[in-house]
Chains A and B, each alone.
Chain A
Amino acid sequence: MATYDNFFDTLGLRGWCGDDQGGGLSSMADLMGQAGGDTDTTLWDMPFPSLDALHDSCDAIPQSRDLTQGLEQGFLSVKDSLKVVVDPLTQPLSWALENALWIMQAVPWFIMIPLLMVITYAVGRSLKLVGLVALVFGFLAFIDFYDHTMQTLAIIFVCAFICVLLGVPIGIAMSRSDRVQRTMIPILDMLQTLPPFVYLIPLIFLFSVTEPKLYGIAIILYAIVPVVRLTDLGIRLVDQDVIEAADAFGMTNRQKLYKVQIPLALPNIMAGVNQTIMMSLAMVVIASLVSAPGLGVLVLRGIRSLELGVGLLSGLGIVLLAIILDRVTKAALARINASQK
């Protein structure tokens, strides 16, 4: 006899529930109740009328397990049709990741490291920064983490690039229409607060674990938020007087966007890019759970087989990578700021 029996009896729903009183013992609670012989529950012990508690009294009410199972069944039933749409759309991502991974590893180290130094100089115009880059990559290569580092870097480059490619236009659309902004903000909030493991789960159902786009999508979903938000914010913060002047001199909307709004929002957009790169680096480690190569694999190995040294060193490698990515993008940001002052 369960707690809510009386409730259904008094409402006359017993027939609807469709069981005869005292029938087969179906739940552990029933067994316990029988064993204890004490069916009188005090008010103090009354359980919350949850799905499971109500199910004990009335079989017609589903258990909470049925709810989660229903969700799963629902997802599985739309999965195939979803795949037809999403698969070809995301195929270029797989292709880009595979190629980036291949190139970053195929180019020999004595070309790659100087190349990265040149890029650093071009972006940051600081020899100190170039020295730091040389030092970090030299160190990581010296301890035989070179391949893993390059894999991580390749994934970040591709994912951050796609984040900017998608995020900046979304941000611009948000800045131009309050309605778009209102619909996007809850989505962005959700992407930002959802634990990263959670959106790996449906992706695993959608794609095979061997496909790079699986982790690519996970990283992009996680990392795209700051660049979208800061693009929107940056454009909305552009001085209204300057916009008015642009109007007064007859600029078209397109000219206003490219000649005024984007250049003036660039410091904020670059701050967003910086955050996006940092977040994709954070996600790369989690993505190694679903076959993303790189330093994350080493971290995972450290955890799985309790190899403390490997875990610590690869963790340090990620920190070093984060530092140079952050410094280089911040140096670019500082140069943009300086040119506008």
Chain B
Amino acid sequence: MTDDIKICVRNLYKIFGDDPQGALEKVRGGMSKADLQAETGHVLGLNNINVDMPAGKTTVIMGLSGSGKSTLIRHLNRLIDPTSGEVIMNGENILDYNERRLREMRKHEMSMVFQKFALLPHRTVLENAGISWEIEGKTRKKYAAEATKWLDRVGLQGQGDQYPAQLSGGMQQRVGIARALTSNSDVMLMDEAFSALDPLIRTDMQDLLIELQAELHKTVIFITHDLDEALKLADHLVILKDGFIVQQGEPQHILLNPNDPYIEAFVSDINRARVLRVRSVMEKTDVPPSDVAGEVDHDDTLESIIAVSGGDTTNNYRVMREGRQVGVLHMRDLVRALVPRHPGEAAE
């Protein structure tokens, strides 16, 4: 990809225990997580993490519990310090920051949304949203307009004087998002932000985030254990397992070309027709096909194409992007893409 890289994680290790440096040598020497724990009692949290997080895009870090995803996101704003490695943002290694500079970064350059909302229960919604301004020493009068703007934007019109406990979970998380947006930081860290919500409300919140992203182009780092959510939101998907990265890249690509049995098992339960897009399965060509059944957009889901075709697998479609043909979709390829393939026979 040609995108600018906003945050760049290099060779990051995190080991929990009494002598992390000693354990680090062993891990670098090739010791596995289980062996390390059995022999030295140290827990390997993160093992040689390298990720480039594109600016203005959503990077989703996905993994099951214990995979180290929450540990990883806390390294980005240094709520946890690594045992070894670098986190580079805007060309600066944030691990070199002193405490003062670190606080500056947390106030202005990075904001965070939490799984359990973590709002201040003794402050009103407005005061919660404006917390980053208040930390700066600004009065309520100064931040009220900005905080209200973002509260309105996330759908909390006229709720500013309520207390968090008076709101439902979904609304509380909207306050959490408004709080992150009010700080006007470029980077938004979201730690399982929607995991504690009901499925329907979760879908609403995902749509809200997509909508906000289309408008604001923040660099979002999103943690989740839910693959559907990850595929819906991600521009760049990172899959973690036991503290190391199993696979990362464009989500459609990962779905079609899983390089690990772990990921295959993961993606086998996915409704592929809903997630996969025409552009991922089409044949790239600008030569118009001879027998065209119609035109489709490159970003349509396969599900919608199946509906259009009425189940006829012999059709071919012209794939259009901004009025120009970018490829041809053969229904045969589409149907084949719906069945998970083994890595050995993966195309491309």
Binding site for B on A (CB under 8 A): 239, 241-242, 244-245, 247-252, 255, 259-260, 263-264, 339-341
B114 to A252, Cβ gap below 8 A?
no
A339 CA / B179 CA spacing, docked (Å): 21
Interface: B183 (CB within 8 A): yes
Contacts of A239 in B (CB 8 A): 118
Contacts of B141 in A (CB 8 A): none
Give 27 CB contacts A-B under 8 Å.
Answer: A241-B114, A241-B117, A241-B118, A242-B120, A244-B118, A247-B79, A247-B106, A248-B77, A248-B79, A248-B189, A249-B107, A249-B111, A249-B135, A249-B183, A250-B105, A250-B106, A250-B132, A250-B135, A251-B103, A255-B135, A259-B134, A260-B120, A264-B121, A340-B122, A341-B121, A341-B163, A341-B165
A249 CA / B178 CA spacing, docked (Å): 13
A248 CA / B134 CA spacing, docked (Å): 14
B131 to A249, Cβ gap below 8 A?
yes
B120 to A244, Cβ gap below 8 A?
no
B contacts with A, residue count (CB < 8 A):
28
For chain B, residues 78 to 127, give those with C-beta under 8 angstroms from any C-beta of chain A: 79, 102-107, 110-112, 114, 116-122
Contacts of A255 in B (CB 8 A): 135
Query: B122 contacts which of A241, A244, A263 (Cβ < 8 Å)?
Result: A263
Query: A339 contacts which of B79, B105, B122 (Cβ < 8 Å)?
Result: B122
Query: A250 contacts which of B104, B118, B165, B189 (Cβ < 8 Å)?
Result: B104
A242 CA / B111 CA spacing, docked (Å): 14
B121 to A340, Cβ gap below 8 A?
yes
Contacts of A245 in B (CB 8 A): 112, 114, 118-119
Give the shortest distance, in Å, between A240 (CB) and chain B (any CB).
9
Contacts of A248 in B (CB 8 A): 77, 79, 106, 110-112, 114, 189
A251 to B118, Cβ gap below 8 A?
no
For B307-341 the 0/1 string (1 means CB < 8 A from A) is 00000000000000000000000000000000000
A252 CA / B122 CA spacing, docked (Å): 19
A250 CA / B77 CA spacing, docked (Å): 10
Closest 5 CB pairs of A and B: A250-B106, A245-B118, A250-B107, A248-B112, A241-B118
Contacts of B179 in A (CB 8 A): 249
Contacts of B183 in A (CB 8 A): 249
Mostly, the A contact residues are helix
A242 CA / B105 CA spacing, docked (Å): 19
Contacts of A244 in B (CB 8 A): 79, 114, 118
Contacts of B131 in A (CB 8 A): 249
Give the shortest distance, in Å, between B9 (CB) and chain A (any CB).
18
Q: Which residue of B lies closest to A243 (CB)?
A: B118
B112 to A252, Cβ gap below 8 A?
no
A272 CA / B106 CA spacing, docked (Å): 35
Give the shortest distance, in Å, between B174 (CB) and chain A (any CB).
15
Contacts of A250 in B (CB 8 A): 102-107, 132, 135
Contacts of B119 in A (CB 8 A): 242, 245
Give the shortest distance, in Å, between A251 (CB) and chain B (any CB).
5
Give the shortest distance, in Å, between A152 (CB) and chain B (any CB).
35
Give the shortest distance, in Å, between B238 (CB) and chain A (any CB).
21
With a 10 A CB-CB cut-off, give which of A241, A249, A255 has the most chain B CB atoms: A249
A62 CA / B118 CA spacing, docked (Å): 65
Contacts of A341 in B (CB 8 A): 121, 163, 165
Query: B118 contacts which of A242, A252, A263 (Cβ < 8 Å)?
Result: A242
Q: Which residue of B lies closest to A242 (CB)?
A: B118
With a 10 A CB-CB cut-off, give which of A239, A250, A264, A341 has the most chain B CB atoms: A250
With a 10 A CB-CB cut-off, give which of B105, B107, B189 has the most chain A CB atoms: B107
Contacts of B107 in A (CB 8 A): 249-250
A250 CA / B106 CA spacing, docked (Å): 5
A69 CA / B132 CA spacing, docked (Å): 64
Contacts of A251 in B (CB 8 A): 103, 135
A59 CA / B85 CA spacing, docked (Å): 74
Contacts of A263 in B (CB 8 A): 120, 122
Give the shortest distance, in Å, between A239 (CB) and chain B (any CB).
7
A247 CA / B163 CA spacing, docked (Å): 21
Instruction: Given A241-B114, A241-B116, A255-B135, answer yes or no on A249-B106 (Cβ-Cβ < 8 Å).
Output: yes
A12 CA / B202 CA spacing, docked (Å): 89
Q: Which residue of A lies closest to B180 (CB)?
A: A249
Contacts of B135 in A (CB 8 A): 249-251, 255
Contacts of B132 in A (CB 8 A): 249-250
Q: A248-B189, A249-B111 are in contact. List 9 more A-B contacts (CB 8 A).
A: A244-B114, A245-B118, A247-B106, A249-B132, A249-B179, A250-B106, A251-B103, A260-B120, A341-B163
